[in-house]
């Protein structure tokens, strides 16, 4: 059971917009700790998509955006493309555990 | 450009110890904390612990702190993760990654550890 809760799967057609939620608690996201998002393709290391809740590293398309409110965060992907099909993970820090925590991951399927 | 290159796959018996390495290049090794993350088959990412290469200070995930040890050699810009008393459920890919702005911008390629009798 992951500390951060994500839906196991989401799907969307090419060109559509999808969102992936990440629900935490008062000891992590709700405590003000920042949220990051990662994309992971099979057999490869995770790739950072969003850091500090809503910032994109250089090279990440602006189709990807992040937001945070209260004890939750969201990743939105617009203009869905076949190459977006992957597993997505949220990540934050938890003060009760004194460590970094991840969501369980969400599998995005492009229909 | 930042590079993290990990050691090769390992096969270990239950109860054994495994020690993985992660050699970095492209930045000052002491500038960023080095973390280790586990991904078991069919499971999500799990943070294991970190080391500050500058002073050697470590922090471990509660559930692993009796079995994990992270170290760093600043003379070779290499971090190490040792996991002892291996169990079947420790079969996983282990990643090293550096942190910046509370995120993990750069990752090693991963090392597969298989625990099998």
User: Which tens digit of pLDDT belongs to each residue from A49-67?
Assistant: 999 999 999 999 999 999 9
**pLDDT at A87 exceeding the cut of 90:** yes
Cβ proximity of A53 and A42 under 8 Å: no
Selecting from B101, B102, B108 the residue whose C-beta is nearest the C-beta of A45 gives: B108
Cβ proximity of A19 and A106 under 8 Å: no
Please give the structure tokens belonging to residue A96.
């009760």
Query: In terms of Cα–Cα distance, which of B33, B34, B22, B114 is closest to B76?
Result: B22
Q: What is the pLDDT of residue A1?
A: 80
* Interface membership of A64 toward B (CB under 8 Å): no
pLDDT tens for chain B, residues 1 to 117 = 999 999 999 999 999 999 999 999 999 999 999 999 999 998 999 999 999 999 999 999 999 989 999 999 999 999 999 999 999 999 999 999 999 999 999 999 999 999 999
Q: What is the pLDDT of residue B95?
A: 98
* Interface membership of B61 toward A (CB under 8 Å): yes
Mutate which of A8, A31, A37, A45 to test chain B, going by most B C-beta atoms within 10 A? A45
- Percent of chain A whose predicted confidence (pLDDT) is above 90: 96
Q: What is the pLDDT of residue B14?
A: 97
Distance between CA atoms of residues A56 and B96, nearest Å: 22
Positive or negative, the Cα torsion across A90, A96, A97, A99?
positive
To the nearest whole number, what is the mean pLDDT of chain A? Answer: 96
* Interface membership of A91 toward B (CB under 8 Å): yes
């Amino acid at each position: 059971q992951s500390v951060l809760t994500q839906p196991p799967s989401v799907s969307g057609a090419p060109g559509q917009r999808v969102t992936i939620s990440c629900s935490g608690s008062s000891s992590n996201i709700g405590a003000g700790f920042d949220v990051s998002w990662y994309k992971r393709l099979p057999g490869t290391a995770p790739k950072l998509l969003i850091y500090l809740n809503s910032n994109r590293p250089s090279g990440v398309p602006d189709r990807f955006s992040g937001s945070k409110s209260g004890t939750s965060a969201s990743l939105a992907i617009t203009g869905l493309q076949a190459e977006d099909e992957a597993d997505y993970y949220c990540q934050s820090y938890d003060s009760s555990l004194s460590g970094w925590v991840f969501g369980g991951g969400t599998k995005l399927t492009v229909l | 450009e930042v590079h993290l290159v990990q050691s090769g796959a390992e096969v270990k018996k239950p109860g054994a110890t495994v020690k993985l390495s992660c050699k970095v290049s492209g930045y000052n090794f002491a500038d960023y904390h080095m973390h280790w993350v586990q991904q078991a088959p069919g499971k999500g990412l799990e943070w294991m612990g970190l080391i500050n290469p500058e002073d050697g200070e470590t922090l471990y995930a509660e559930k692993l702190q009796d079995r994990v040890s992270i170290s760093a050699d600043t003379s070779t810009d290499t971090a190490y993760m040792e996991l002892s008393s291996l169990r079947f459920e420790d079969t996983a890919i282990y990643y090293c990654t550096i942190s910046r702005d509370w995120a993990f911008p750069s990752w090693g390629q991963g090392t597969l550890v298989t625990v099998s009798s």
